[in-house]
Amino acid sequence: MAPMGWGRRRVLLLNATYEPLTALPLRRAVVLVMCGKADVVHGDPAGLTLHAATVSLPVPSVIRLSTYVRVPYRAQVPLTRAGLMHRDRYRCAYCGARADTIDHVIPRSRGGQHSWQNCVACCAKCNHRKADLLLSELGWHLRVVPTAPHGPHWRLLVHSGEADPLWRPYLGVAA
């Protein structure tokens, strides 16, 4: 693996009950394993190993905490650019082209909210043409009605582009 890849590499962290919690940077995962707070469930599919003076450790892909951690329930998923792009599958809500910006369906200048129900992924061309107009003024329609995402592991799916195939059984979906 190229040296640049090590810094961006993510590891799935499971609770003691094998419930997915988050995706961690590789460095943090190694620290948890070395301190005895987590165990490696699945190593790197290529069989890579980290070596130190007195210990060797398989590069983890999935780790599990040794003790159960209670996670507070959050009713709403916070709105983020990465989450919005993932929800809309990186496609423009107006024309279906590759999305690279975010648009407010009802512009904020006209009282629109910054919420899951009012924000969509959008290509630069459509975003520029729409400007601060309403869809009815342009005669445009949304391809899909924007809604807030839901599900217990939705936040983890934002990282699905960088996810190891070994994560799929723990996420419970086709990531």
Whole-angstrom distance, CA of residue 158 vs CA of residue 79: 12
Average pLDDT over residues 11-38: 90
Taking the complete model, does pTM exceed 0.75, yes or no? no
Q: Which residues contact 83 (CB under 8 A, 6 or more apart)?
A: 77, 149, 154, 155, 158
Q: Which long-range contacts (CB under 8 A, 24 or more apart) does 25-34 make?
A: 26/59, 26/60, 29/60, 29/63, 30/57, 30/60, 32/63, 32/65, 33/57, 33/60, 33/63
User: pLDDT per residue over 54-109, tens digit each?
Assistant: 888 888 889 999 999 987 766 677 788 888 988 898 999 999 999 999 999 999 99
Residue-range domain boundaries for the chain: 3-73+155-171, 81-138
Model confidence pLDDT, tens digit, residues 97-124: 999 999 999 999 999 999 999 999 999 9
Question: How does DSSP assign 76-112, residue by residue?
Answer: SPPP-HHHHHHHTTTB-TTT-SBP-EEEESS-GGGT-
Task: Report CA Rg, the chain.
Answer: 20
* Yes or no: domain 81-138 corresponds to CATH 1.10.10.60: no
